[in-house]
Amino acid sequence: MIREAVIVGAGLGSRLKDMTKDRPKGFLELDGSYLVEMSIKKLLEHGIERIIIGTGYCSEWYEKLAKKYPAIETVHNANYAGTGSMGTLEVCAAKVTSDILLLESDLIYDSVALFTLLNDHHRNVVLGSGATNSGDEVYIAVDENIEVAAISKKLEMVGKSYAELVGISKLSYKTLQAMCSFAASHHQDMPKMEYETALVGAQKMGEHLFVRKVNYLAWREIDDASHLEMATKEILPRIQENESIRQVRREVLLNPGPATTTDSVKYAQVCADICPREEEFGQMMRWICDELTLFIGKKEDYETVLFAGSGTLADEVMVSSCVPQDGKLLIINNGSYGQRLAKIASVYKMDYEVYESSTYEAIDLDALGKKLDEGSYTHLAAVYHETTTGLLNPIPQIGRMCHDRGIVTIIDTVSAFSAIPIDMERDCIDFMASTSNKCIQGMAGVCFVFCNRKELEKLKGEPMRNYYMNLYDQYQYFSKTLQTRFTPPVQILNALRQAIIETKQETIEARYTRYTACWNILVDVVKELGLEMLVKEEEQSHLITAILEPQDGKYSFEEFHDLAREQSFTIYPGKLGNINTFRIANIGDIQPHEMEQFAQFMREYFRK
Ligand SMILES: *Cc1c(COP(=O)(O)O)cnc(C)c1O
């Protein structure tokens, strides 16, 4: 699996004259976007976690870009004017830790280029295309194994051209090191070495370097004004058409999970088969656990444990694993999911009590405090965000009340995690459960429990109430072996990895802002239409809204649902005792303009 990319972007771009007077080539604009930024988005969409950019000329442009993309790290080649692209690659190589994709900064390309290289079974692959007739070709000649024989701008130097060099390659860590040692031995005689020369040099030193040719690849390197014009008029429209053909039909899910996902998360499931017992896969699961942990706290203090299953499984893991035999659990029930926690405790015949509270009004914290003082509770279980109604429970306050009394907290954050910023230490949460298919915006099938390490360690030696769902047993086994005790859903985990990359890019704070923007649009139209919400605005989560069904005899949920569905919106009924509501969730990869479209649909439906 390739996780790192290097972009060499130090060059002066002098052939572009005035266009690069104030900026590096990568910042030429095409259709309102920077060349290099288009490339960075594609890399992120293809599962690249870390992008190292070698800068030189006008490096401040890259530094500014790095602020917008947490995955970017810049390294400056101070001697950029005196070296070629290899000098910049040498500076970057010091930061590289694994196999890489290597790219030039002045390229536009169809993302199928990345897919092809990432899926090629050779470790070292140089991407080639059919004839471009661009007037600036770099030719590649190959031997009988389709390995690189020569690379040159001069056709006579390569003899017979097999393909044209695109400027995107996949290289093993070892080959990159070989290129660097080749370059180091030629610093004197070839100070301005291009990386292509080092590629051929590494090949001569015994590295195997294959060429993968994609005949009709849409791509263009931009070195002068005529290239820019060609890119704008011919190449970019082709790329856009190709990429739009590969888009998955858009469905906007306004149900409370599974949530709408990006195409890149969907496509992440299409990956090479792998035995999950391979070290590589174990390392990926380790990465997933660590990155999930970093969203909620420090790795030294918290740990994330993965399970195969939906959110309910994670709830059952917590309730059945976190309360010792002699413990006593208080469960707050103010909605379906609180009730579910109580149901789980009853199935395991645990020592528990239920604290009932209104399903649509805020919990009375004074009364809860009294309850906590009365019983000798060791643990408290509650739901952060009651997805049934959209009621947000004041978990940080409840957590504080519990910790002040030495009570361990077990929180269902299935529909809150990755939307509402949570800091487990600050919010006094010891264990919390969530799932891959809600606000983290992955596919259904994986769930996880975040654990306060100290509390997790206390579970050692506790009799197990079940096997598959035992938290400590899974934690301990995974820590030792990097394996789960069961077959993990490989493709779903790949999708989760992609969803994490995208969450890191967006940040949880910005995601909550986006969700809130969508919610505001919804609330505005609800009020405009004179509809009523079940929960007071200030007590809502901004993630899901329960709206009372109109008493008008002409309204039918089925009709409303079916008409919405025709416009690719999926909505959800919600019954709460004898109160009929319909529910609109605004979690997932939903943009405000789509919520506007839904708002317009509601206007038309309810006015009629
Ligand atoms: C969705 C949800 C669950 C259950 O998750 P499943 O994936 O359907 O098992 C549990 N708790 C809350 C708060 C939820 O929103």
Q: In the predicted model, what is the mean pLDDT of the chain?
A: 96
Both 65 and 186 in a single domain? yes
Both 185 and 269 in a single domain? no
Residue 200 within any structural domain of the chain = yes
Nearest atom in ligand 1 to the alpha carbon of residue 435 is 7
Q: Closest residue (by CA) to atom 5 of ligand 1?
A: 311
What is the residue whose two structure tokens read 């739009």? 244
Domain boundary among 466, 487, 504: 504
Both 540 and 568 in a single domain? yes
Helix (H) or strand (E) holding 221: strand 219-221
Nearest atom in ligand 1 to the alpha carbon of residue 444 is 7
pLDDT at 20 over 90: no
pLDDT at 248: 97
Residue 484 phi, psi (nearest 5)? -90, 160
- Give the integer Cα–Cα distance in Å for 598 and 521: 9
CA of 260 to the centre of ligand 1 (A): 16
Res. 574 pLDDT band, cuts 50 70 90: confident
Helical spans, DSSP H, in 69-168: 85-93, 112-119, 155-158
Contact 557, 549 (CB under 8 A): yes
State whether the beta carbon of 414 lies less than 6 angstroms from ligand 1: yes
Contact 302, 452 (CB under 8 A): yes
Other Cβ atoms less than 10 A from the Cβ of 185: the count is 12
Residue 253 within any structural domain of the chain = no
What is the residue whose two structure tokens read 């195969």? 308
- Give the integer Cα–Cα distance in Å for 239 and 111: 8
Residue 475 within any structural domain of the chain = yes
pLDDT at 552 over 90: no
Reply yes or no: is the peptide bond before residue 191 cis, omega within 30 of 0. Answer: no
CA of 503 to the centre of ligand 1 (A): 20
pLDDT at 266: 98
> What percent of the chain has a predicted confidence (pLDDT) above 90?
93
- Residues 38-58: what's their mean pLDDT? 97
Positive or negative CA dihedral for 72, 78, 82, 87? Answer: negative
pLDDT at 553 over 80: no
Question: How many alpha carbons lie under 13 Å from residue 289 in its C-beta half-sphere?
Answer: 24
Q: Closest residue (by CA) to atom 12 of ligand 1?
A: 414
CA of 202 to the centre of ligand 1 (A): 53
- Residues 583-596: what's their mean pLDDT? 97
- Residues 129-138: what's their mean pLDDT? 92
pLDDT at 551: 86
End-to-end CA gap in the chain: 54
Both 92 and 190 in a single domain? yes
Residue 409 phi, psi (nearest 5)? -105, 135
Going by DSSP bridges, is the β-strand pair 446-452/431-435 parallel, antiparallel, or unpaired? antiparallel
Both 497 and 596 in a single domain? no
Going by DSSP bridges, is the β-strand pair 33-34/29-30 parallel, antiparallel, or unpaired? antiparallel
State whether the beta carbon of 436 lies less than 6 angstroms from ligand 1: no
Candidate from 435, 439, 443, 448 with most ligand 1 atoms within 8 A of CB, to mutate: 435
Question: How many alpha carbons lie under 13 Å from residue 310 in its C-beta half-sphere?
Answer: 6
CA of 148 to the centre of ligand 1 (A): 53
Tokens of 30: 């095409």
- Residues 433-450: what's their mean pLDDT? 98
- Give the integer Cα–Cα distance in Å for 140 and 154: 10
CA–CA distances in Å: residue 476 to residues 56, 109, 137, 395, 455: 47, 45, 56, 29, 14
Res. 440 pLDDT band, cuts 50 70 90: very high
CA–CA distances in Å: residue 393 to residues 405, 410, 450, 539: 19, 14, 19, 8
pLDDT at 309: 97
Nearest atom in ligand 1 to the alpha carbon of residue 383 is 13
pLDDT at 577 over 80: no
Residue 259 within any structural domain of the chain = no
Contact 214, 112 (CB under 8 A): yes
At 264-277, the pLDDT tens digits run: 999 999 999 999 99
Tokens of 333: 């029930």
pTM, 2 dp? 0.97
Give which of 604, 581, 600 is closest to 592, Cα–Cα: 600
Contact 108, 81 (CB under 8 A): no
Domain boundary among 245, 276, 307: 245
Nearest atom in ligand 1 to the alpha carbon of residue 313 is 9
The answer for 300, left when phi > 0, alpha when psi is -120 to 50, beta otherwise, is alpha
Both 309 and 276 in a single domain? yes
Domain boundary among 504, 533, 560: 504
pLDDT at 575 over 90: no
Share of the chain residues as helix, strand and coil, in percent rounded to the nearest 5: 40, 20, 40
- Give the integer Cα–Cα distance in Å for 40 and 69: 9
Q: Domain with 202 in it: what CATH number?
A: 3.90.550.10
Q: Domain with 380 in it: what CATH number?
A: 3.40.640.10
Domain assignment of residue 105, given as a range:
4-128+163-245
Q: Domain with 586 in it: what CATH number?
A: 3.90.1150.10
Both 594 and 472 in a single domain? no
pLDDT at 554 over 90: no
CA of 440 to the centre of ligand 1 (A): 13
pLDDT at 607: 87
Least confident of 19-23, 54-58, 426-430: 19-23
Q: Closest residue (by CA) to atom 8 of ligand 1?
A: 311
For residue 322, what are the contacts with CB-CB under 8 A and spacing of at least 6? 379, 408, 410, 430, 431, 455, 459, 471
At 459-475, the pLDDT tens digits run: 999 999 999 999 999 99
Both 59 and 186 in a single domain? yes
pLDDT at 608: 80
At 369-420, the pLDDT tens digits run: 999 999 899 999 999 999 999 999 999 999 999 999 999 999 999 999 999 9
CA of 588 to the centre of ligand 1 (A): 15
Question: Which 3-state string (H, E, C) describes 407-419?
Answer: CEEEEECCCCCCC
Both 440 and 584 in a single domain? no
Total domain count, the chain: 3
CA of 275 to the centre of ligand 1 (A): 29
- For residue 260, what is the DSSP state? B
pLDDT at 576 over 80: no
- Residues 273-294: what's their mean pLDDT? 97
Both 447 and 559 in a single domain? no
Contact 469, 322 (CB under 8 A): no
State whether the beta carbon of 412 lies less than 6 angstroms from ligand 1: yes
Both 468 and 600 in a single domain? no
State whether the beta carbon of 257 lies less than 6 angstroms from ligand 1: yes
Residue 255 within any structural domain of the chain = no
At 187-224, the pLDDT tens digits run: 999 999 999 999 999 999 999 999 999 999 999 999 98
SS3 261: coil
CA of 338 to the centre of ligand 1 (A): 10
State whether the beta carbon of 387 lies less than 6 angstroms from ligand 1: yes
Res. 526 pLDDT band, cuts 50 70 90: very high
pLDDT at 579: 85
CA of 317 to the centre of ligand 1 (A): 13
Both 300 and 195 in a single domain? no
Residue 133 within any structural domain of the chain = no
Helical spans, DSSP H, in 246-384: 263-268, 279-296, 311-322, 336-347, 365-374
CA of 252 to the centre of ligand 1 (A): 19
Residue 107 within any structural domain of the chain = yes
DSSP string for residues in 352-407 = EEEEE--SSS---HHHHHHHHHHS--SEEEEESEETTTTEEP-HHHHHHHHHHTT-
The answer for 168, left when phi > 0, alpha when psi is -120 to 50, beta otherwise, is beta
- Give the integer Cα–Cα distance in Å for 203 and 126: 12
pLDDT at 308: 97
Candidate from 414, 434, 449, 587 with most ligand 1 atoms within 8 A of CB, to mutate: 414
> What percent of the chain has a predicted confidence (pLDDT) above 70?
100
Residue 134 within any structural domain of the chain = no
pLDDT at 11: 86
